Amino acid sequence: MPFQITVHAQDRILEVVYPPQVTTAALAEYLADVKKAITDLDGEWSALVDQSQLRVMPSDVVTAMASLNAFAQLHGMKRSARVVTDAPSGLQAWRMTKRAMLSIPTRTFETRGEALQWLRDPDAD
């Protein structure tokens, strides 16, 4: 199963659902596709990343995603929400955010609904 990328144009939210396992080929395809989606947004937008199916993120994937997050911030990402199901996954998401040196608001959530609500209502912090 590949990464799933959806752009919610009305809310300016780029949503990504990670597969249970990340292959080298899927990662390369995803990086190309999501960078195109990011540049097509052309302006400010928010990210919703659902990592609930992915249990372990290999170190090369963490490195690639940290670099992608830095790229995303430089290209208009103003908020980032991650959906995780357990503490180890939350820790991985935090490490990736730290490695990318993001200066935007980022949070982890247990459900997609909570994450979307936070992205749609920036003043709810």
Q: How far apart are CA 81 and CA 114, in angstroms?
A: 9
At 41-94, the pLDDT tens digits run: 999 999 999 998 887 777 788 889 889 999 999 999 999 999 988 766 666 666
Both structure tokens of 14: 């780029």
**Cβ atoms of 18 and 49 closer than 8 Å:** yes
At 97-112, the pLDDT tens digits run: 666 677 899 888 999 9
Task: Note the pLDDT of residue 103.
Answer: 85
Backbone angles phi, psi at 17, to 5 degrees: -115, 120
The pTM for the full model equals 0.88
Compute the mean pLDDT over every residue in the chain, rounded to the nearest whole number.
87
Q: Is the pLDDT of residue 32 over 90?
A: yes
Q: Is the pLDDT of residue 95 over 80?
A: no
Both structure tokens of 26: 């899927």
Q: What are the structural domains of the chain?
A: 4-119 (3.30.750.24)
Both structure tokens of 82: 């991650």
